[in-house]
Amino acid sequence: MSDFFRNFAREIIYYPYRMSNILAKSDKGLRVIWLILLLLLATVQATWAQTDVAENEGDEPRDSVFVSILTCAPGVEAYDLYGHTALRICDTRQNFDRVYNYGIYSFNQPNFVWHFILGKTDYTMMSTTPALFMAAYAAEGRSVSEQVLQLTPEQVGIVARIVYENECTPNWTYHYRYSDDNCTTRVIDAVHYALKASGSRMVLPDTMQITTYREMIRRYAAVYPWTEFSDDLLMGAELDREAMGMAQLFLPQRAAEILQGTMVQNTQGEVYPLVRENRILVERPALKPDHTSITPMIFCVSLLVLMLLFTYYEMARQKNFWVCDAVLLAAQGLAGCIITFLFFLSQHPGMDSNWLVLLLNPLPLLLLWPVIRSQRRGSRFHLYFYAVNGDLYLILLLIAALNIQDFPRGFLYLAGCLLIRALKHVITGIKKIKETKKNS
C-alpha cells in the first residue's frame, strides 16, 4: 500500500464514532457513499493490520491471554498535552484483541463546549482494534508504548468483566474530572480492583517523590510555557495539596513511570513486578518544546520594569497618564470575569478555591469609568479604589508566603504593575491633600 493511501486510510478510519458523526451530518445519498467507502477502507485496513502483526509476531507477549496498558505520547493540542491512556485485552486463542478507550467525548453533544467549561462533561468508553488505535496516533505523530501486566487468569477475567459491563451498558458514561476521574484513573482503577478482589495488592515504589497536583501538571505542560501559565492561572489552592500514593496516577506518563516500579504482593506473600514486559508499538519523535523567546516570566518581569520606569517618568514630570490606568484596569477586569465565572460556576476540581479571585474579578471593569473620571477631576474616589487594589495585592503576597496557594510563575511580577500604579496614585493623592490643607 502506498504511503498516501495508508495515511488516507488512517485519517478516515480514526475511530468508529468519528464515522458516525460524519454519517449523521450527511444526506441520504452521501451516507450510502460513505458506507461503501468505509467498508472498502476497512478491508484494506484489516489486510494492513494482518501484515503488521505478521511482521511483529516475534514481539508479542508470551502468554496467549494478557492485559496491558497503552500510554500515548502528548499531542500538540491543549487537550492532548498530557497524553492518553488505554487498556488492551488480548486472547490469541479466541482471536480476541481489543483496546478500551475511556477518553471518548464528542463535540457534537448538545452544548458540549458550555458543559466542558462548567466541568459537567460526561465521557464514555469505546473499544477498537489495536491496529486502528495505533494508526490513529501514528497519523498524529504520537508514540504509543505498551506495558504488559503480570496478572493471573482470574485477575484478567475481572478486568475483562469491568470493561465488558461498561461497554455493554446502554448510554454508559462517567463524569469526567481531570485530577481524579479520567481515562488514566479508569484504567488504573480496573487493574487495582482486579488485584484487590483476588487478594493481592499493589505496592507502589518507595522512590515516589512527594509532590502536588499542580507541580505534576506543570511538569508535563512545561513544553508550552504559555499553555502552562494559562492553565496555572485557573487552578486554585485545592490542587496545591500533596498527591499521595495512587492519587499521583492521574496523568498518563506519570502513571506509566510509577507502574514501571510497582510490585504486586499476592496471598502467598510473594512479591513480583506488576509490569512484565515493555513494548513500543508506535515510535515517533517526542513533542518539541516551544522555544519561544518571550516566556511568561520574561514578559511579566519586563512589563514590571517598564511600568516602574514609566511611573517614575510620570511622577517626575507631574503628569497623569490615565490611559495607562484604563488599560490596566480593563485587563484586570476582563481576566477577573473569567476567574470569577469559573470560581462560582465551574465544577472542575480546584476552580472554586482560586484565591486570585480577590484581585482578578469584574469590579475593576465595572468601576473603570468612575475611577478614571475621579483621576481626571482630582476627586478622592480613585484614591480609595487604588488603596484597596494595593491591599489585595499584598494579601496575595501573604497567601503565597504562607504556601496557601502557589500562584503561576511570574504572575506576582505581572500583578506588581497594579501595585506600582496604586502606590503612585495614593502617594500623589496624599501629597495633594496635604498641600490643599496647608494652603487653606
Q: Over range 360-377, report the average pLDDT.
A: 95
Q: pLDDT tens digits for 257-274? A: 999 999 999 999 999 999
**What confidence score (pLDDT) does residue 440 get?**
67
List, by residue range, all CATH 3.90.1720 domains of the chain: 59-282
Confidence of residue 4 (pLDDT cuts 50, 70, 90): very low
**What confidence score (pLDDT) does residue 62 get?**
53
Residue with the larger pLDDT of the pair 398 and 222: 398
Long-range contacts of residues 50-54, Cβ cutoff 8 Å, at least 24 apart? 52/131, 53/131
Q: Over range 392-396, report the average pLDDT.
A: 96
SS3 68: strand
Say whether pLDDT at 298 is over 50.
yes
Say whether pLDDT at 343 is over 80.
yes
Spatial neighbors of 369 by CB under 8 A, at least 6 apart, are none
Q: Is the dihedral of CA 347, 353, 356, 362 positive or negative?
A: positive
**What confidence score (pLDDT) does residue 207 get?**
84
**What confidence score (pLDDT) does residue 39 get?**
47
Residue 122 dihedral angles phi and psi, to the nearest 5°: -105, 130
What region does 31 belong to: left with phi over 0, alpha with psi -120 to 50, or beta?
alpha
Least confident span in 22-36, 73-87, 113-127, 185-199: 22-36
**What confidence score (pLDDT) does residue 142 get?**
94
**What confidence score (pLDDT) does residue 223 get?**
86
| 59-282: CATH topology | endopeptidase fold (from Nostoc punctiforme) (3.90.1720)
Confidence of residue 240 (pLDDT cuts 50, 70, 90): very high
Q: 211, exposed or middle or buried, with CB in 10 Å at 0-12, 13-18, 19+?
A: middle
Percent of the chain with pLDDT over 90: 64
**What confidence score (pLDDT) does residue 81 get?**
85
